[in-house]
Amino acid sequence: MDNPKRKRIRLTNFDYSSQTAYYLTICTKNRTPSLSRICVTEDRRIVVDLSPKGQKVQEYILGIPKHYTDFSLLSYIIMPDHIHLIVGIEQGDKPSSIPNAIKAFKRLTTKEFGEQIWQERYYDHVIRNEAELQTKIEYIETNPLRMLLKTGCL
């Protein structure tokens, strides 16, 4: 049930099964850094080292297009306390919606871990053109570097 005091974060009257790309961010409960750690290798490469929980989350992310055949996974990253995804929705016989897919993803991972690991809500952004898509992909790809710079670890 919606909390009437809570700010509405979804676009009003928007069909979230529309054929377009969506940028999504899902945060862990209390922003607990349980999914990965960001490391710098000896040769100065930045890598995302997934925890066992992060590896399971990755399996579920990669399974999204298998369960939602009208979805394509365009980009993703698993950060310590959140994930970013870009999914596209194509024409399908029975279109799926972003809210239903995220709800199922959270339900399945919660069941897998035996505990609630996600914040109740998530952030979404409807990607409107190719330039915006490329900007969001670049943001995902550079997210580990930004995190290291922000924390002073690099």
Helix axes 98-113, 52-67, angle to 10 degrees: 140
Per CATH, the homologous superfamily of domain 21-151 is Transposase IS200-like (3.30.70.1290)
State the Cα–Cα distance between residues 52 and 68, nearest whole angstrom: 25
DSSP state of 69: T
pLDDT tens sequence for the chain (154 residues): 445 554 545 556 655 566 789 999 999 999 999 999 999 888 988 999 999 999 999 999 999 999 999 999 999 999 999 999 999 998 767 778 899 999 999 999 999 999 999 999 999 999 989 999 999 999 999 999 988 887 766 5
Separation of first and last alpha carbons in the chain: 44
Instruction: Write the CA distances from 1 to 14, 103, 120, 144, integer angstroms.
Output: 20, 14, 12, 35
Q: Of 51, 91, 54, 52, whose CA–CA distance to 76 is shortest?
A: 54
The pTM assigned to this predicted structure is 0.86
Burial of 101 (0-12, 13-18, 19+ CB in 10 A): buried
Residue type, 118: W
User: Do 70 and 55 form a contact (C-beta atoms < 8 A)?
Assistant: no
Domain extents for the chain? 21-151
